Structure 1
Amino acid sequence: MRRYFPESEQARLLNAAKACADPLAQRDYHWMAALLLTGMRIGEFSRLTVPQVALALRVGWLVSRPEDCKGKRGNEYAVTMPLRTHLQALLSLADRQYDGNGRPEPLVPGRFGGHLTPRSYELRMKHWIREAGLDERASPHWMRHSRGMNIVRRSRAQSPGMAMKVAQAALGHASLKSTGVYLNLSREELAAELQAVDGGRLKKRQARALAEEMGVA
């Protein structure tokens, strides 16, 4: 099963939330975009705090604490201009950096003031997935895979190997083997290429059968 959003579906998902003027929808739009631009795991993203992100905007790197990351290894994310826009928007929705007891406020708070839970992120994203008419089996982790696919396909690196290294560093993969999946040809890409070669429309069923025969994921 495909576990990422092609670029057209990424746009549909984000636009579904962006088009809604409700403040909650705007919050969802910005955190979904931030997930797509960092490739963060949802558990790691859910632990971000207002001071942490404010510092990231000053120094240009968003640094996660080791205890909030898989494998207990801290991750770093370059704050590109698009990511900066969404992080600034999330900060503008926050009332303050610290609570009355000096504890950092969560970047995205839940109903009762604590961090929005990974399960709540999943439910909010499911809502927008339905609104956009996308695969309802999708989860926030698809944003991470989408980030990897975007890097490999958009990279200006002169070789696939270098593009993979960029993706490996960006996603914090310990092994390059974990990143190799993003070089796989998708069924959509296979169908498009065959249509271009044959000069005609290839039926979806035929493209799927050929992809399965070739072992293409």
Structure 2
Amino acid sequence: MLTGPISDFIRHLAAEKRHSPRTCDAYQRDLTRLATWLWQEGGGEWRVVSGHDVRRYVATLNREGLSGRSIARHLSSARRFYQFLLRERLVTDNPALDIRAPKSGRRLPRVTDVDQLNHLLDASPDDPLEMRDLCMFELMYSSGLRLSELAGLNLDAVDLKGGEVRVLGKGSKERVLPVGRKALKAIRCWLPVRSGLASEQEPALFVSRRGDRLSHRSIQSRLNRWGLKKGADQKLHPHMLRHSFASHMLESSGDLRAVQELLGHADIATTQVYTHLDFQHLARVYDQSHPRARRHRYDGSERKEMNTGE
């Protein structure tokens, strides 16, 4: 009784909204979990679910240890699902509409410092597959790619001459990003190896030893392996490279809008999470750059401009 509308909703997301399989899978997991809970609580139809039921479900998720952010995602899935049910005239209201998740502390992104990243990326690959791995990690850090964006890259997405890569981000939004010198060199080293693994019909830039597109899980596993083998002092994961890219770019430039564009964030508030990471650096940039804050050096000493009235 409860699972049929979920299947219809997922087909709606895939066919009409053009959501990715990963997004559809996430919605299905969230809604199946809700449906299972409702069934265990004696509910048999979506139209009889009340706001009180949704609050009880939120309390259950909270007791099970889910963070406020995860609960908010479950609520978002429920709200969107009920919007679909309203459109299909299967319910008369949206019981999740005014329910909010409990607040939790904002988890700050973990980053790797520049020196350690240089050490890891300057390490020499020991075999052809490690040449691929180094190329992936250089490109991810060079251009701030998401894991899904890296895994989805095709050969024709890279412009070696122009030093650019074209990626398909969230919401199927395309953006063109610069690629650094080290990453371009790594790509040029990988391409001859790739041609010996993949058929001419395979479009993927990064392939497995079998010649097919490398999976998300494989990329995660290879990055962790690289870190362990090359001496990282913390466990590496793909998003850490993206976080490090954002933090290091913001630290060097102080240009929040530019970093937002490079990351492909729709809302600048998402990018602002990185500003806490090096506020002291931004304060130094302000002191050195603002015309009313600049300091002058005389004979190696510093003093602020003073208006003597003369």
Residue among 132, 152, 162 paired with 1:27: 132
In 1: Cα distance, 2:170 partner to 2:221 partner: 22
Q: Offset at 1:2?
A: 5.0
Match of 1:50 in 2: 155
Q: Offset at 1:104?
A: 4.2
1:169-199: CA deviations, max 9, x gaps?
A: 1111111111112211369x89xxxxxxxxx
1:31–1:90 CA contact under 8 A, matched in 2:
no
Match of 2:114 in 1: 7
SS in 1 for 2:195: coil
Q: Does 1:173 align with 2:261?
A: no
Residue among 182, 185, 200 paired with 2:274: 182
Match of 2:146 in 1: 41
In 2: Cα distance, 1:20 partner to 1:83 partner: 14
1:36–1:147 CA contact under 8 A, matched in 2:
yes
Residue among 189, 200, 203 paired with 1:105: 203
1:146-180: CA deviations, max 9, x gaps?
A: 1101111122xxxx3xx111111111111111111
Q: Does 1:140 align with 2:238?
A: yes
In 1: Cα distance, 2:118 partner to 2:178 partner: 22
2:131–2:190 CA contact under 8 A, matched in 1:
no
In 1: Cα distance, 2:149 partner to 2:245 partner: 15
TM-score if structure 2 supplies the norm length?
0.50
Higher relative contact order (CA 8 A, sep 6+): 1
Match of 2:24 in 1: none
Residue among 88, 111, 124 paired with 2:188: 88
Count of residues in correspondence between the two structures: 173
In 2: Cα distance, 1:27 partner to 1:99 partner: 16
Do the aligned partners of residues 48 and 180 (structure 1) sit closer, same or farther apart at CA in structure 2, a change above 3 Å counting? same
In 1: Cα distance, 2:176 partner to 2:156 partner: 16
Q: Which runs of 5+ in 2 are unaligned?
A: 1-107, 282-310
Match of 2:213 in 1: 115
Q: Percent identity?
A: 24
In 2: Cα distance, 1:152 partner to 1:48 partner: 25
In 2: Cα distance, 1:9 partner to 1:128 partner: 13
Q: Which runs of 5+ in 1 are unaligned?
A: 191-217
1:29-67: CA deviations, max 9, x gaps?
A: 2211111001111111112122322xx1244431124xx
Tell me how large the CA RMSD over aligned residues is. 2.6
